[in-house]
Amino acid sequence: MTKISDVAKLAGVSTATVSRILSNPSWGKPETRENVLAAVKELRYKPNALARQLRTQETHTVIVITPNLSNDLFHKIIHSIEQEAAAHGYHVLVADAEGQPSVEEYYLNAIQQRQVDGIISISASAARHLLEKIADHYPLVLVVQSYEECNIPSVKIDNRAASEAITKHLIRIGHRKIAHITSSSDLLLYQERLSGYEKALRDGGIPVDPDLIYRGKGSMDGGFEQMNALLASGKKFDAVTCAGDTIAIGAIAALKARGIRVPQECAVTGFDDIEIAPYFDPPLTTIRQPAEQMGQIAFLKLFSMIKKEKKYDSPTYLPYELVIRKSCGHLL
């Protein structure tokens, strides 16, 4: 592998000159520039990133930690982080935390070992105090969810309000016995969605019935299983709000398997507006999160922290959108 000293030798200059010409477009006299650049081209020189990073103490790389790779919303966000990062000359390392023994360890290792300049955590699942400790020492931004009254920079929608909105829509069009299927994970975002659901019920004068709230895996399998459990319970219900589109899809499949028509006999709503939402039968009524914006803003926040422009920041709330399709039944 050719190194900078090879280039320097061929161009008849010192390594310092090569380095400067390569990193500062207005440096050196034209003749020298030409020589050096010609040598670079001839030898096909590529700077060794490790050496550079070791010396400059920055990697121009950020790590994105995601609970899994199979969530459509997550990779929309990841993709937009990558776009924005590239625009600033940064690389993105994607870490799939699924199946990782200790997410916390994962978080820290990369940055402590100086392999990345900052962390973006999508839907972080670590304990609050731990995240705060990390944020105290390193640039960290949370996306999709964050803790309340916590000064770790974050970007998200108001999950509670969104969930309330979609539930209120069901009430408005005449549903009363509304169930909720959610994930049993203890992510705050699910608690917030549950809480929005409850608020909508209370505001609509409908008592919250704990027997209509089901928790399980946050996947299609999970939705399928929980809906079967709900059906098996014998409880009556005419609508279900699900805390995610994948859950909703599993739930609808379970209803259909018993010959229950959606939305005529039971309305179902999702959350996230994943790719399949409009193509499913029936198309899902859901909440759309502004994935692109979330990723973009998350990177920009992180970037300004890396550049030491600011350390803390208030959470950014972005607008969500209630997307009404057929799975919730008739509008008024």
User: Where do contacts with DNA occur on this chain (CB under 7 A)?
Assistant: 1, 3-5, 12-20, 22-23, 27-29, 31-32, 45-48, 51-52, 54-57
Residue 279 is a binding residue for a copy of itself (CB under 8 A): yes
Q: Which does 102 bind (CB under 5 to 8 A by kind): a copy of itself, DNA, none?
A: none
Q: Which does 98 bind (CB under 5 to 8 A by kind): DNA, a copy of itself, none?
A: a copy of itself
| Cα–Cα distance measured from residue 276 to residue 314, given in angstroms and rounded to the nearest whole number | 33
- Nearest distance in Å: CB 233, DNA: 58
Between 13 and 300, CB nearer to DNA: 13
Residue that has been written with the tokens 């962390």 in this structure: 119
Residue 170 is a binding residue for a copy of itself (CB under 8 A): no
Between 223 and 290, CB nearer to a copy of itself: 223
Residue 93 is a binding residue for a copy of itself (CB under 8 A): yes
Please return the burial class of 1, using the count of CB atoms within 10 Å of its CB with bins 0-12, 13-18 and 19+. exposed
| Cα–Cα distance measured from residue 82 to residue 61, given in angstroms and rounded to the nearest whole number | 10
- Neighbouring C-beta atoms of residue 34, cutoff 10 Å: 13
SS3 for 92? strand
Q: Which does 22 bind (CB under 5 to 8 A by kind): a copy of itself, DNA, none?
A: DNA
**Looking at 249, 284, 302, 306, which residue binds a copy of itself (CB under 8 A)?**
249
| Cα–Cα distance measured from residue 268 to residue 166, given in angstroms and rounded to the nearest whole number | 10
Q: Please give the backbone phi and psi of residue 35, each rounded to the nearest 5 degrees, phi first.
A: -55, -50
Amino acid at 40: V
DSSP state of 325: -
Q: Which does 125 bind (CB under 5 to 8 A by kind): a copy of itself, DNA, none?
A: none
Specify whether the CB–CB gap between 138 and 114 falls below 8 A.
Answer: no
**Looking at 109, 151, 185, 191, which residue binds a copy of itself (CB under 8 A)?**
109
- Nearest distance in Å: CB 253, a copy of itself: 4
Beta strand 286-288 with 321-323: parallel, antiparallel or unpaired? antiparallel
Residue that has been written with the tokens 């010396």 in this structure: 55
Binding site for a copy of itself (CB under 8 A): 1, 46-51, 53-54, 59, 69-70, 72, 75-76, 78-79, 82-83, 93-94, 96, 98-99, 109, 112-115, 219-220, 224, 246, 249-250, 252-253, 256, 275-276, 278-281
